[in-house]
Structure 1
Amino acid sequence: MSCDVRSFYKDKNVLLTGGTGFLGKMIVEKLLRTCDVEGIYLIVRPKKGLAPEERLKSLFEEPILAKIRENKWKYYKKIHALEGNLAKKELGLSEEDKELIRNKINIVFHCGAFLNMDSKLSEAIITNVRGTLEILELIKGTQNFDAFVQISTSYSNCYEKVIKEKFYPPPVDPELLIRMSEELSPNILSSITNELIGKWPNCYVFTKAVAENLLLTKAKNLPVGLFRPAIVTSTVSEPIAGWSDNLYGPLGIVLSSYCGILRIIRANGNLKSHTVPGDMCINAILCFAWDLNNKWKTSQDTYNPPVMNFSAKNTKLLLSVRQYIDCINRSDYPPFKKAMWHQMLFLIESKFCYIILKFLLHTVPAYLIDSLLIMSARKARMKSIYVKIEKTSDILSHFLMNEWDISNESVKKMWENLDEKDRELFNFDINSIDLNLYFKNMVTGMKKFILKEDMTKAKIHKQRYKRLTLLHYTLKYSLIGLSVIPVYRTISRLVSQKKR
């Protein structure tokens, strides 16, 4: 078996859905920078008044593509935008673009999805299930086709505590679910959502579980595979250390906590979560396409679509929430300019205690700050911020109160099949990470790429944060002292009464 991943992509045409999203941007960057592909085609929908071509141009302005911009005109001609939409029939593609896909595309990465965990079921079905069906139907007539990788999530079947690398029985027939979303009104579908999704915690993971099984029923005799990443976070080093453009999963918790806004969350701090770095996830995805193509070539008649979980099992990143926060605290991270208070985060299991402390640590401060803002003729905003944070916290609580064993044997086997050059170029060995540096870069990346703070003023921000820390501990120990006084007086009275 040839172990040359780069040669697999040489002169190939790659199609991406979700190419302007978090994973999609990294796939585009990695392919352009390291693999001599002929072309990359992105299915892009118009958004916020921008046409697909304009969105493609803005993609090149992203920090993640900084190295690509150095040779912009060399690479720009390789990127093509196809106007389309996963939420539309036949992906909203023109006949000309559909013909182009059938005649030219060799490899497909299906990253596009409706990610909102609080979404309406109808929206999630149309994009995540019908969108997957449409793209599988489209590639059936493709010439010289090498690989189709469907990106799902390790939590698509999270009703199971042990997630194996296999297809699970679908909770409902995908085509029946699509018909329901098309024929029933959104209100009716909304009213039966809880009964439909059953043991799944939200519509996102439910529809992902349904969509996975389309590979078995609609992609027979095709080189397809299912890739299930765990919670994807910032990059380790490629092409920039600490890059992320979203606040999904632990990143949102970290940022809002270290801004001094989030002070309490419902979680079992001792349960371990699976997080994986963005760049290593992309390297594994690119190698997975090569790997499944090798399997397809050697056993077309007996080919079964492979499933690969990319999790933190047996790696140094399998950490609890408490360990995660501790690692950041030890990493000498640069404080945020936007920090309102010193970082503190209480992890509370009891729902009753969580509600009480949420009122004391979130609601009361929010009203106090908003009152001060109103008195100074400024717009009140803290209450609305806390409403959004608590809504997100409630959605994440299911994943913070449970623990999963997510198998990842296929990743280990694939790593063994790579030669040294490919291991270096497509590194997805999580155990090679320097944890201290990784967490420092993670917070630095949030400061730089998400909050967009001036890094040249990091020392000033650090000094300001020291003042917040002093204020925090002064208030903390003052409150402790004040609470001790009545206890001391009560004990003193009891002792005095006993002496009499």
Structure 2
Amino acid sequence: VLKVREQLLTAMESQIKAFYKKKTIFLTGGSGFMGRVAVEKLLRSTDAARIYVLMRQKRGQSPQERIESWKTIPLFELLLKSKPNALERVVSISGDCEEPDLGISLADREILKKEVQVVLHCAATVNFFEVLHKALDINTRATRLMLELAREMQKLEAFVYVSTAFSNCVFQHITEKFYPGNLRCSADNVLKVRKLCDDMVVDGMAPALLDKFPNTYTYTKALAEQLIQTESDKLPVCIYRPGSIVSTNREPIPGWIDNIYGPIASMYGYVLGIIRLALMDANSPACIIPVDLSVNLLLACAWHTATASNEFKTDRMPPTIYNHVPHAKNLITYGQFLNFVDKIRHIYPFERTIWYPIMHTTTISWLFKVARIFYHVVPGHVMDFVLLLRGQKPRMVRLYAKMHKAIDKMAYFSNQKWTFEATNTDQLWQSLSIADKELFAFDMRSLDWNKFLTNGLSGLRLHLAKEEASDESIRRAR
């Protein structure tokens, strides 16, 4: 159905598809969740000539071998059926965002300078527990290095920096503008300190530097935004700020997911009967975005930036910022999110459920710390005792300790009621042709939350829990 739909739309005018035809793209973060979805979308829906992906060696696999391994991932199944040689258009650039000059060789830098027209800078460490020096290297310094490289690109038409909707989370109302006043120390000065001091000294400065920021992730993304504001002069740059990116809504397959972060971790723990109590405001809006909608806006941002850049060549416009969060007319609260999941889990029960799933929430920190003893700690000891009797290694108490640490970190986000302005995103949506609104859909007003979460839980069961979606498997789970 998806293939037929795209064939019909191809006959209509797609400005975004026309823009990417024969383009050469440089993508960082291509091995991550969002990055791979972006690669698949570009290969399936556009005629891009080549996609260079910054990638390091990992677990004995070379960067190009890692790309070859994508052939076995369900995400690429539809693409490879229609275009068996599609991945030949993806070329690895050996490098690492933690290294000086991004770890890119001189020969590869020359290739990028001569060929690249579109840069999608998605690389980031999204670990809320990341030590400051590492978060600075990957999220902030690498952004400066990418800007420096972009200035030397002879054919550059668009540079999209992927930030986060939470980069300015110290404010309750977040507009599509820069917030330099929320930083105690400028990005330039912080990077100077990082260069002069060793890792432990920098990490020790974290409490003073972060100030009101809840973690190193949001702080270093805010610093990177300041670099975009101050160091992107005369470059065709924009900033894309998505909410928490979760499973696919529709394409290439509904419900695809390969990680357990944020709301997905809560959903997974809940349906398995592990997480039974959360430090969460059930009335707070859940700021989640399906990854396919996120990638569609990412690609649309590059097209729009290039178009605007061509129109105003003599007077370069300041970077445009695009907030991408659930629309005010189609919000879902954490309470509604959990209610949806509770209904859906009866349709797609998990075989590995270890306790009957229930979920209670509280916004009172001390009450959570007391109640979790009875909800989590005591049951954890009981389950570990049973595991010992079976001759297995106890693991639940340790798991709950890690989980409580994660819940404490996530509590900042699940107890806030931010409001967002998304004027630029709305205007971009309205400017799209009918074909582009179908091929590159990103409007959150039309998202069917019930259908999305149903597919999401089904995908969680299949892709993460590795439980087949067969009638027999579902009967066993019940």
Give the TM-score normalised by structure 1.
Answer: 0.90
Cα distance, 1:302 vs structure 2 = 4.1
Question: 2:8 is matched with which residue?
Answer: none
Post-superposition Cα deviations, 1:314-349, rounded to whole Å, max 9, x if no partner, equal 242x21111101122334530111111221111011
* 1:221 equivalent in alignment to 2:234: yes
Among residues 273, 276, 290, which one is paired with 1:263 in the alignment?
276
The answer to whether the 8 A contact 1:267-1:397 is kept is yes
Counterpart of 2:56, as a letter, is R
Question: 1:157 is matched with which residue?
Answer: 168
CA distance in 2, matches of 1:154, 1:339: 33
Question: 2:310 is matched with which residue?
Answer: 297
Question: 1:91 is matched with which residue?
Answer: 102
Post-superposition Cα deviations, 1:102-153, rounded to whole Å, max 9, x if no partner, equal 0000001000011111010000001111111111101111112110000000
Secondary structure of the 1:99 match is helix
The answer to whether the 8 A contact 2:14-2:435 is kept is no
Question: Bigger shift: 433-442 or 258-267?
Answer: 433-442
- Percent identity reads 30
Among residues 89, 111, 114, which one is paired with 1:100 in the alignment?
111
Among residues 353, 356, 361, which one is paired with 1:347 in the alignment?
361
The answer to whether the 8 A contact 1:20-1:59 is kept is no
The answer to whether the 8 A contact 2:327-2:445 is kept is no
Question: 1:181 is matched with which residue?
Answer: 194
The answer to whether the 8 A contact 1:263-1:345 is kept is yes
The answer to whether the 8 A contact 2:467-2:473 is kept is no
CA distance in 2, matches of 1:72, 1:61: 15
* 1:70 equivalent in alignment to 2:84: no
Among residues 302, 319, 342, which one is paired with 1:329 in the alignment?
342
Among residues 288, 294, 297, which one is paired with 1:275 in the alignment?
288
* 1:254 equivalent in alignment to 2:267: yes
Secondary structure of the 2:85 match is helix
CA distance in 2, matches of 1:185, 1:309: 35
Secondary structure of the 1:60 match is helix
Question: 2:10 is matched with which residue?
Answer: none
Question: 2:245 is matched with which residue?
Answer: 232
The answer to whether the 8 A contact 1:167-1:212 is kept is yes
CA distance in 1, matches of 2:87, 2:14: 29
Question: Bigger shift: 325-334 or 25-34?
Answer: 325-334
* 1:54 equivalent in alignment to 2:68: no
Post-superposition Cα deviations, 1:245-277, rounded to whole Å, max 9, x if no partner, equal 112221110010110000111111112122111
Cα distance, 1:429 vs structure 2 = 2.0
Secondary structure of the 2:51 match is strand
* 1:203 equivalent in alignment to 2:223: no
Question: 1:132 is matched with which residue?
Answer: 143
Post-superposition Cα deviations, 1:49-69, rounded to whole Å, max 9, x if no partner, equal 211111111123221111122
* 1:375 equivalent in alignment to 2:386: no
Counterpart of 1:130, as a letter, is R
Question: Bigger shift: 9-18 or 421-430?
Answer: 421-430
CA distance in 1, matches of 2:365, 2:446: 38
Question: 2:18 is matched with which residue?
Answer: 7
CA distance in 2, matches of 1:368, 1:114: 36
Cα distance, 1:434 vs structure 2 = 2.7
Cα distance, 1:209 vs structure 2 = 0.1
Post-superposition Cα deviations, 1:30-62, rounded to whole Å, max 9, x if no partner, equal 000010000000000111121111111112322
The answer to whether the 8 A contact 1:313-1:407 is kept is no
Aligned length: 462
The answer to whether the 8 A contact 1:273-1:403 is kept is no
CA distance in 1, matches of 2:340, 2:82: 37
Counterpart of 2:464, as a letter, is I
CA distance in 2, matches of 1:302, 1:155: 27
Cα distance, 1:214 vs structure 2 = 1.4
- Can you give the 5+ residue segments of structure 2 that lack an aligned partner in the other structure? 1-12
Superposition CA RMSD, Å: 1.5
The answer to whether the 8 A contact 1:11-1:37 is kept is yes
The answer to whether the 8 A contact 1:228-1:309 is kept is yes
Post-superposition Cα deviations, 1:53-91, rounded to whole Å, max 9, x if no partner, equal 111111232211111222554312211001000111111
CA distance in 2, matches of 1:19, 1:392: 26
Among residues 420, 428, 435, which one is paired with 2:442 in the alignment?
428
Change beyond 3 A, Cα 1:8–1:374: same
Structure 2 matches for 1:461-472, cutoff 5 A?
A: 461-465=474-478
The answer to whether the 8 A contact 2:113-2:153 is kept is yes
Question: Bigger shift: 214-223 or 258-267?
Answer: 214-223
- After superposing on structure 2, the runs of 4+ consecutive aligned residues of structure 1 that deviate more than 4 Å are none
CA distance in 2, matches of 1:380, 1:131: 41
CA distance in 2, matches of 1:386, 1:175: 40
Among residues 41, 48, 56, which one is paired with 1:30 in the alignment?
41
Secondary structure of the 1:213 match is helix
Question: 1:190 is matched with which residue?
Answer: 203
Secondary structure of the 1:109 match is strand
Cα distance, 1:462 vs structure 2 = 4.2
CA distance in 2, matches of 1:4, 1:205: 34
Counterpart of 1:396, as a letter, is M
CA distance in 2, matches of 1:460, 1:78: 39
Counterpart of 1:272, as a letter, is P
Structure 2 matches for 1:301-320, cutoff 5 A?
A: 301-316=315-330, 318-320=331-333
Give the TM-score normalised by structure 2.
Answer: 0.94
Counterpart of 1:369, as a letter, is M
The answer to whether the 8 A contact 1:12-1:106 is kept is yes
CA distance in 2, matches of 1:143, 1:219: 15
Cα distance, 1:375 vs structure 2 = 2.2
